[in-house]
Amino acid sequence: MGDKMKNFAVILLIAIFLISSNTPVYSKTINEADTELCETLKYALINSLRQPVDKAIAEIYKDDKDAASNLTWASYDTEIIKIKQLYGVGGEYEITLIVHAYYDAHNSYGIDEVVVDTRGELKNYKHIKTYP
């Protein structure tokens, strides 16, 4: 075997090795939470939208003289009622939430519908109910 043939054989073996070992890697999601993956994703999504939801709550109750100054909401008590795909898979989405406003040690104060998009923008909100 000549030097050219040996070099070609070595390059060919390396190429075959690289091609055969280049298998796709599929990663498995590691869920380090106290909930199943679907619930964990739901809470992660809701928490990622905290800023626009906080803004909606502030707007909804700004003129309510009976509302507590420490009015807030909790992701575990928030429902996703609609996810609207706007521009195709993986594009922007619009998410409609039902938010339960409360104060102090989870004293319920109201229920609100809040619409946000996945860019973190508040799109719309509507007050549904105030508790007596």
For the residues 85-105, what does the mean pLDDT come to?
Answer: 92
Tell me what pLDDT residue 2 has: 65
Domain positions in the chain: 35-130
At the top level of CATH, the class of 35-130 is: alpha beta
According to DSSP, the residues that pair with 83 across neighbouring strands are 95
Q: pTM of the prediction?
A: 0.75
State the helix-helix crossing angle for 37-48 and 50-61, rounded to 10 degrees: 60
CA distance 70 to 4: 80
Tell me what pLDDT residue 4 has: 65
Which alpha helices (H) appear in 1-132, and where do they start and end? 3-21, 37-48, 50-61
Tell me what pLDDT residue 36 has: 84
CA distance 57 to 42: 20
Token reading at 119: 């860019």
CA distance 30 to 28: 6
Mean pLDDT, the chain, rounded, equals: 87
Tell me what pLDDT residue 38 has: 87
pLDDT in tens, 41-52: 999 999 999 999
pLDDT at 92 over 80: yes
Tell me what pLDDT residue 5 has: 66
Token reading at 86: 């706007």
Tell me what pLDDT residue 90 has: 82
